[in-house]
Amino acid sequence: MKQHNFDEIIERRGHDGEKWNTYPTDVLPMWVADSDFRCPQPILDALAARVSHGIFGYTSNAFGAFEHAAARWMRARFGWDADSSWVEFAPCVGAALAQAVLSFTDPGDCVLIQPPIYPPFRSVTTRNGRYLLENPLVRRDGNYTVDFDDLEHKLAHPRCKLFLLCNPHNPSGRAFAETELLAMGELCREHNVTIFSDEIHCDYVFGGRRHIPFPSLSEEMADISLVAINPSKTFNIADFRTAAVISANKTLRTRFAAGVANAKLGRCSSGIIAFVTAYTECDQYADGVANYVEKNLEYAVARINARIPRLSAHKPEGTYLLWIDCRGLGLNRQSALERFFLEEAKTALNSGTDFGVEGAGFMRMNLACPLATLQDGLARIERAVNGLN
């Protein structure tokens, strides 16, 4: 297969994407977590063939290619011997998080999260009438670790029923080590807490490490957990709204699937085709995009630390998101930091506090873009920082 050209600049303004059509045209968007790369050619070809049929009736929800593709990806990429009968459909990982809250807790129960965290982890909990228990990650020397004493204390809450784990973790960039995952899992097992592991960023794990699907840790861990994946991040196909939730525990997956069915959420052919093609024909693209993004991350970290010393960044272990410590700018309020990036640097990043109070003084930058776009963004930020007193 031909090498994909990740340097290609594709105009996204004037289309319907949120990332490039929210801010004025003089602002460079580096926020919403989709990539600026064209999706793999086999997906485009498969979709074109489907469109040429010209009939778009109701899509079958029957077991088949979708389940085999999800299980194949887990086996081939991460060595987890997932069975296709363990795979359930969800429209997207966000919806799956919400469904997990509905399926595995009752109103008034508590859900544990690890902020700073992707904002829907909070909203799907509170908007569904459940309470949050927070086990903030602890920042030390630029890296984040789990506070296990606090975790144990929170899990012991009699109404704590569900842990929404994010691995690789957005926005900290942690790809948790086996020992950490096992320790978190053991505590959940002791306290009868189900783990819903959002592993949407699984294909972006760097530095020679490999992603560890939570249930692959042991039979005990498989028995208390579900995993959510979506090829959207890796192949830039978020629009197709097709994700998978996988669990070896029949009771857990049946409860989850019943919730999806009760909400009348069904499959669409374009989503299934994109999902299946991604997870069966696009391994080379997945390797290529992770490699390209890793170089972007290394480039950005080196340039920020060398040329913009009032900012500080560490290469994440996973995800294409760079969590930038901006406290050295001396802008005391988060609103002033947000204004600085938008109005002075003319770049749209995500504000750190969108991920929780732990994100005060931070901004999140999306590096899933051509190197030229990244260089433009960093030059804008450098110029603006140099213009500060």
Ligand X SMILES: Cc1ncc(COP(=O)(O)O)c(C=O)c1O
CB 363 within 8 A of CB 350: yes
- For ligand X, give the closer residue by CB, 123 or 305: 123
* Nearest residue to 201 via CA among 273, 118, 271, 122: 118
| Closest distance of CB 275 from ligand X, Å | 11
- For ligand X, give the closer residue by CB, 168 or 191: 168
Other Cβ atoms less than 10 A from the Cβ of 57: the count is 6
- For ligand X, give the closer residue by CB, 173 or 215: 173
What is the amino acid identity at position 30? Answer: M
| Closest distance of CB 388 from ligand X, Å | 30
Binding residues for ligand X (CB under 6 A): 33, 92-94, 118, 166, 170, 198, 200, 230, 232, 238, 243
Between β-strands 321-325 and 362-366, what pairing exists: parallel, antiparallel or unpaired? antiparallel
CB 161 within 8 A of CB 105: yes
- For ligand X, give the closer residue by CB, 121 or 285: 121
| Closest distance of CB 96 from ligand X, Å | 7
- For ligand X, give the closer residue by CB, 184 or 200: 200
Four-point Cα dihedral 14, 18, 19, 21, nearest 10: 30
- For ligand X, give the closer residue by CB, 93 or 257: 93
| Closest distance of CB 241 from ligand X, Å | 7
Q: Dump the DSSP string for 151-180.
A: HHHHHTSTTEEEEEEESSPTTT-----HHH
Please confirm whether the linkage preceding 119 is cis (ω < 30° from 0).
Answer: no
Between β-strands 194-198 and 225-229, what pairing exists: parallel, antiparallel or unpaired? parallel
Residue appearing with tokens 């930020």: 381
Radius of gyration of the chain (CA): 21
| Closest distance of CB 234 from ligand X, Å | 12
| Closest distance of CB 384 from ligand X, Å | 26
- For ligand X, give the closer residue by CB, 230 or 236: 230
- Could you tell me if residue 79 is left (phi over 0), alpha (psi between -120 and 50 degrees) or otherwise beta? left
Residue appearing with tokens 């569904």: 128
